[in-house]
Structure 1
Amino acid sequence: MNRREFLDATLALMVAPSLASAATPSSAKTQTVPRRKLGRTGQEVSCIGLGGFHIGKQKDEAESLRLIRGALDGGITFLDNCWDYNDGQSEVRMGKALRDGYRAKAFLMTKIDGRDKQTAAKQIDESLKRLQTDHVDLLQLHEVIREDDPDRAFAKGGAMEALVEAQKAGKARFLGFTGHKSPAIHLKMLETAKQHGFRFDTVQMPLNVMDAHYDSFEKQVLPVLVREGIGVLGMKPMGDPFILDSKTVSAPECLRYSLSLPVSVVITGIDSQERLEQALSVARGFKPLSESQVKGLLAKTEKAAKDGAFEKYKTSHHFDGTVQNPQWLG
């Protein structure tokens, strides 16, 4: 797909403001976060999502709760999380924040690591307990980063059996998978699913100004997902945060680039009120970058991106939680 086709696909995902919001004063409309279609699910989610890892790192739990509720009050609906984030504290804190009616405002996603059915099922139930809910809106298999992960997941007695059973039991509305290591492994996961007669609702992967230059998910996986109508969850828009360390682009530029791709949501780490306001500001004022603006950002990052030095999730084990903790896999 070329840039024009990407732009057309992005525009197709964007949801027009409702008649009610269109009738409100312009000052009120600036407070809304645009929503996008989540693949073929029939759901709409905020174009910016709250990352689950960073939300569990505040020393004061009350600060985490304020940020989560502040995001929801500000118009962010998509909440990311994972069974293994901060020894479960990210889910525990999010569960507390979703009390008092906040659960109804959220499109709640979490992920599990188990590769066999028994381990995966146990983690699913633990996540639901921590999140204080009887179901998540989206359940994903986490860190599909090894060559054999697709085969293990779809094997008899594998993790996918647990995910499908959870969906049938009403514990999850939609199913997906995530990974940050290799576009080839993502493509293998999609092909393995197809061979088993299964279709994922969503796929999560890094999409940013440097990925476009090096072993690119944008170039290799994104066109497949767009063609098949699978919801695209972009993550690591700032390389968490190594891309910013390159001093080639700013945080708002990183967010705008990722949002200009045909993604349903860009999940970003929000660990402070300043980061929350930055994400809300970019989302509320977002307009897709022009082809010339995209070329300009890619030109600025090309040299720094060429060997993946600032995409450590691809080129090192820095982000590989299940490599550092293989017991999580079961």
Structure 2
Amino acid sequence: MQPSRRAFLAGAGLAPLIVPLLQRATSPAHAEEGGLIRRAIPSSGEMLPAMGIGTSRRYEVEPVPEKIAPLREAVQRFVALGGSVIDTAPSYGTAEDVLGQILSQDGLREKVFLCSKVGAPGREAGAAEIARSFRRMATDRIDLVAVHNLSDTATNLATLRDLKAEKKIRYTGVTVWRDSQFADLEAVMRRETMDFIQVNYALDDRRAAERILPLAKERGMAVMVNVPFGRDRLFKAVQGRDLPPWTAEFDCASWPQFFLKYVLSHEAVTCPIPGMAKTAYVEDNLGAARGRLPDAAQRTRMEAYVDAL
């Protein structure tokens, strides 16, 4: 995704749209006056900014100062513009270690809604993996820990509920990343009580909206959305194209915002978590969580546009 997106940000065709947006986003007055859309966690009513950072791949760098520096700048900018949700996992290489170093400075840990996962099967192995996440991220509290890819779900959810009762974590959930997991996810959602689910959903991957997203709303579960750019497919589909003029109707200034505003405009979605390893990506993506969102008719138009590519 990075090469395609870099081309978008640098492309002459979109520069006139993106540059003014980034200039507004870097203005403290704009950030204050045009704050981020916020969504409630159904189980508690706590409000979250409706755009987060996913750390898969992009934060899996060697945990040394020169490699961490640009990521630290991205997180600092994210928090300065009102963001808080950062999602990671033990399986994301060095990402937890990198986050631990980033969040240990500038009081960032207290400003971040920190999310991780547990994927090890078995009670002891799962508990050990979670304990390792606490050490790697140098924190005594993780806001959300979810069962990664429905791995030993019943056992790991039991562990998470114990940790929640001990106030070591605040919320529990489960995650998936592909459509073939939806039947199992639906079964877990109907059987278990959880605070969050994390699911793949994008403008060109809309199957989650058929049953999963409505069920999350029915069951009172917050929804984090991974791969909201469709694993690069969407960027490739619109490569070299200008935004349609009608996207101004919902305050859209770039293709990344087009894709993210579609995801966020679903009433069940709490927070998309695209990868953001550069400040330019942070500023652009957070623009999707400001201003108007597409209504039902505009969503249908967006679907038809992408389907026709």
Distance in structure 2 (CA, Å) of the matches to 1:228 and 1:160: 17
Q: Structure 1 residue 302: deviation in Å?
A: 2.7
Instruction: Give secondary structure in 1 for the equivalent of 2:300.
Output: helix
Distance in structure 2 (CA, Å) of the matches to 1:275 and 1:241: 15
Q: Structure 1 residue 169: deviation in Å?
A: 2.5
1:31, 1:74 within 8 Å by CA — same for their partners in 2? no
Q: What is residue 249 of structure 2 aligned with on the other side?
A: none
Q: Structure 1 residue 26: deviation in Å?
A: 6.4
1:114, 1:120 within 8 Å by CA — same for their partners in 2? yes
1:57, 1:271 within 8 Å by CA — same for their partners in 2? no
Per-residue deviation, residues 89-131 of structure 1 (Å, max 9, x unmatched)? 2111111121231111111111111121111101100101111
Q: Does 1:175 align with 2:172?
A: yes
Q: TM-score, normalised by structure 1?
A: 0.73
Per-residue deviation, residues 67-104 of structure 1 (Å, max 9, x unmatched)? 1122111110111111111x2x2111111121231111
Q: What is residue 282 of structure 1 aligned with on the other side?
A: 288
Q: Which residues in structure 2 correspond to 1:133-144 (within 5 Å)?
A: 133-144=139-150
Q: What is residue 87 of structure 2 aligned with on the other side?
A: 80
Q: Structure 1 residue 57: deviation in Å?
A: 4.0
> Of the candidates 224, 241, 261, which is equivalent to residue 232 of structure 2?
241
Per-residue deviation, residues 212-258 of structure 1 (Å, max 9, x unmatched)? 2xxx1111111111112111112211013232222388322101101
What percentage of aligned pairs have identical amino acids? Answer: 23
Q: Structure 1 residue 191: deviation in Å?
A: 2.8
Distance in structure 1 (CA, Å) of the matches to 2:157 and 2:190: 14
> Of the candidates 105, 116, 125, which is equivalent to residue 110 of structure 1?
116
Q: Structure 1 residue 300: deviation in Å?
A: 2.1
Instruction: Give secondary structure in 2 for the equivalent of 1:133.
Output: coil
Q: Structure 1 residue 192: deviation in Å?
A: 3.4
> Of the candidates 12, 37, 47, which is equivalent to residue 44 of structure 1?
47
Distance in structure 1 (CA, Å) of the matches to 2:198 and 2:147: 10
1:117, 1:160 within 8 Å by CA — same for their partners in 2? no
Distance in structure 2 (CA, Å) of the matches to 1:69 and 1:104: 13
The one-letter amino acid paired with 2:163 is: A
Q: Structure 1 residue 267: deviation in Å?
A: 0.9
1:118, 1:162 within 8 Å by CA — same for their partners in 2? no
Instruction: Give secondary structure in 2 for the equivalent of 1:48.
Output: coil
Q: Structure 1 residue 284: deviation in Å?
A: 2.6
Q: What is residue 260 of structure 1 aligned with on the other side?
A: 265
The one-letter amino acid paired with 1:222 is: L
Q: Which residues in structure 2 correspond to 1:89-238 (within 5 Å)?
A: 89-99=94-104, 100-144=106-150, 149=151, 152-154=152-154, 158-181=155-178, 182-193=181-192, 199-212=193-206, 216-238=207-229
Q: What is residue 269 of structure 1 aligned with on the other side?
A: 275
1:237, 1:254 within 8 Å by CA — same for their partners in 2? yes
Distance in structure 1 (CA, Å) of the matches to 2:29 and 2:140: 38
1:260, 1:289 within 8 Å by CA — same for their partners in 2? yes
The one-letter amino acid paired with 1:106 is: V
Instruction: Give secondary structure in 1 for the equivalent of 2:198.
Output: strand
The one-letter amino acid paired with 1:242 is: R
Distance in structure 2 (CA, Å) of the matches to 1:242 and 1:130: 33
Q: TM-score, normalised by structure 2?
A: 0.78
RMSD after superposition: 2.0
Q: What is residue 9 of structure 2 aligned with on the other side?
A: none
Q: Unpaired runs of 5+ in structure 2?
A: 1-27, 244-254
The one-letter amino acid paired with 1:203 is: I
Instruction: Give secondary structure in 1 for the equivalent of 2:90.
Output: coil
In the comparison of the two structures, how many residue pairs are matched? 260
1:39, 1:232 within 8 Å by CA — same for their partners in 2? no
Q: What is residue 319 of structure 1 aligned with on the other side?
A: none
The one-letter amino acid paired with 1:217 is: A
Q: 1:104 to 1:192 in 2, by over 3 A?
A: same
Q: Structure 1 residue 272: deviation in Å?
A: 1.6
Q: Unpaired runs of 5+ in structure 1?
A: 1-24, 194-198, 305-330
Q: Structure 1 residue 31: deviation in Å?
A: 5.3
